[in-house]
Amino acid sequence: MTNIGQIERKTQQRVLRLFTDKTYPFYLGYTYLGNWEEREGNRNIEPELLRGWLKKRGHSEALIGKVLYEFEKAAADTSKPLYDRNKDVYSLLRYGVPVRLEVGQNKKTVQLIDWEHPEQNDFGVAEEVAVAAANAKAHGKRPDVVLYVNGIALGVLELKRSTVSVAEGIRQNLDNQKKEFIQPFFSTIQLVMAGNDTEGLRYGTTETKEKYYLKWKEEHPDWKPGVDTDSKYLTESDYPGVNSPLDVALIQMCNKARLLDFIHNFVVFDGGTKKLCRHNQYFGVRAAQAYVKRRGGGIIWQTQGSGKSMVMVWLTKWIREKVNDAGVLIVTDREELDEQIHERVFKPAGEEIYRTHSGADLIAKLNATKPWLICSLIHKFGAKNSSDGDADAEDFIKQMKQALPTDFKAKGNLFVMVDECHRTQSGKLHEAMKEILPEAIFIGFTSTPLLKTDKQTTLEVFGGYIHT
């Protein structure tokens, strides 16, 4: 073994201790599955491990056999591109595998992961996982570290010595996903990582291009807006006994609860591109979830280009699943933004969203039980053909009241997400929205710091900051 190999090996052994050694600071609680360099038949679905977990859940051998067949069939379907194969597998991971034990019986959905109770799953880590070539024309590869949950490979990690750029590890991951190497192995993978001890960790998912790999940052619980941003994020100094930014990121991202939350709630297949959340998106959504649970509104302020549209998508998906009889209205103040929300944000992400075409149409849809997800221009709350945010509020609300059916009441638990809320809410338009939708919860999004001229009004409408 070369000196280079020995240096990287030391990093790898320390990382494995972080995952598996109870005496190591901030031990993550994974089981060490072994060095699989010489082990034959390494796969992204280890059937005996998955079978054992399903058996502990009380499923019969016959049912387990059918579940394994359906799941392995989806993962091994090389007639589909990796994106589609991975999307099919993700659906089975997230929602379960529907199987019918006998002809004529109703289908039963069997969960492969207990998302609600992370500790009820079997977390394992293997090193030097030798994966056979995809076909006779391809070449085998050996990922440094693979993370398994219930025998299903969900994460891969390539490690480099401090003097070699993390970019080398990223390119290695990208090569491994090519047809001429071990592409089939990545049909179950959700988190693709590369790291070293100087640059820390970078993460993406399957087929993420090198320039889009992300750096994770954990917000310090004691940080307050207005304080020096250098103190906003946790560092090695906040983890006694930990000296590497690589270990800090792994502690933050790969602890059991965070890893499952990340995969379950922050993955999206967006019109041909699979995406994961950035740290600001994750914490913005998590903060908003807490507000939603107590039926509170507020403002999410994130810088331009930080991906607030995807924050809307992930929050909307969560609301649909967690809030009974939920309805969501996305409000914008420009035609191009309304079109973007409809055509390039929600629809590619797999959410069918209805785009209103008039004020009357909007009122009619709010007065019905379906659709549950709507987008609309703000001026549709006002006079016909008017988009003037300074329109006289009294006449404005009077006109709307005259147009409302006598029995009007927005159906369900309605959440109104207002894009660029500093523009749409600083005038009088919000009064009509509040008048018409008195029980709705309002969440504002902005990428522009609130100026003194509109800050007070905006905060009055939405109730303060959810996340900045």
Looking at 222, 244, 265, the residue that finishes a domain is: 265
Residue 130 CB neighbours (<10 A): 17
**Tens digit of each residue's pLDDT (9 = 90 or more) over 109-139:** 999 999 999 999 999 999 999 999 988 888 9
* Residue 110 and residue 99 in contact, taking contact as beta carbons nearer than 8 Å: yes
Residue 268: partners with Cβ closer than 8 Å, 6 or more residues away: 274, 275, 310, 313, 314, 349, 350
Q: Report percent pLDDT > 90 for the chain.
A: 59
pLDDT-derived band at 82, boundaries 50, 70, 90: very high
Number of domains in the chain: 2
Per-residue DSSP letter, 417: E
- The answer to pTM > 0.75 is yes
Domain for residue 345, yes or no?
A: yes
**Neighbour order of strands in the sheet with 298-301:** 354-355, 373-377, 326-332, 413-419, 441-446, 298-301, 465-467
Query: CA-to-CA distance for 350 and 328, rounded, in angstroms?
Result: 15
Asked whether residue 245 falls in the same domain as residue 329, the answer is no
List the structure tokens of 195. Answer: 């790291």
Average pLDDT, the chain: 87
Q: How far is CA 110 from CA 84, 178, 363, 374, 418, in A?
A: 22, 31, 41, 32, 38
Domain carrying residue 122: 3-265
More confidently predicted of 102 and 144: 144
Residues 12 and 76 grouped into a single domain: yes
Q: Are residues 94 and 66 in the same domain?
A: yes
Residue 62 maps to a domain: yes
Chain centroid, CA 42 distance in Å: 28
Q: What was the pLDDT predicted at 305?
A: 62
Is 108 in a helix, a strand, or coil?
Answer: strand
Residue 426 has pLDDT above 70, yes or no: no
- The pairing of beta strand 108-110 with beta strand 191-196: unpaired
> ∠ CA 147-153-155 to the nearest 5 degrees?
50
- Each residue of 20-37: pLDDT tens digit? 999 999 999 999 999 999
Phi then psi dihedrals of residue 333, to 5 deg: -115, 5
380 and 286 in a common domain:
yes
pLDDT for 312-353, tens place per residue?
899 999 999 999 999 999 888 767 677 777 777 788 888 889
Name the residue with higher pLDDT: 345 or 278.
278
**In-domain check, residue 103:** yes
Q: For residues 15 and 9, give the distance between their C-alpha atoms in angstroms, rounded to a whole number.
A: 10
Helix (H, G, I), strand (E, B) or coil at 374: strand
Q: Which of 245, 265, 285 is the last residue of a domain?
A: 265
pLDDT at position 393: 46
Per-residue pLDDT averaged across 3-30, rounded?
A: 90
Contact 318, 309 (CB under 8 A): no
Same domain for 222 and 124, yes or no, is: yes
Residue 272 lies in a domain: no
The token pair at 326 is: 């939920």
Considering the domain architecture, whether residues 357 and 306 belong to the same structural domain is answered as yes
Whether residue 216 is found in the same domain as residue 290: no
Ordered DSSP codes for 250-266: HHHHHSHHHHHHHHHHS
- In one letter, which amino acid is 144? D
User: Are both 253 and 286 inside the same structural domain?
Assistant: no
Question: Are the beta carbons of 370 and 410 closer than 8 angstroms?
Answer: no
| Residue 271 within any structural domain of the chain | no
* Whether pLDDT at 360 is above 90: no
CA pair distance 366, 159, nearest whole angstrom: 52
In the numeric block, the tokens 């998955």 are attached to: 50
β-pair partners for 307: none
What pLDDT does 227 receive? 64
Q: What is the pLDDT of residues 178-194, one digit of tens each?
A: 999 999 999 999 999 99
Residue 65 predicted with pLDDT over 50: yes
Of residues 435, 430, 436, 410, the one with CA closest to residue 326:
410
Is residue 110 domain-shared with residue 43, that is, in the same domain?
A: yes
Cα–Cα nearest to 318, from 357, 284, 341, 342: 284
Tell me which residue of 409, 405, 352, 353 sits closest to 376, measured CA to CA: 353
Q: Indicate whether 108 and 184 sit together in one domain.
A: yes
User: Distance from CA of residue 52 to its chain's centroid?
Assistant: 29
d(CA 278, CA 20): 27
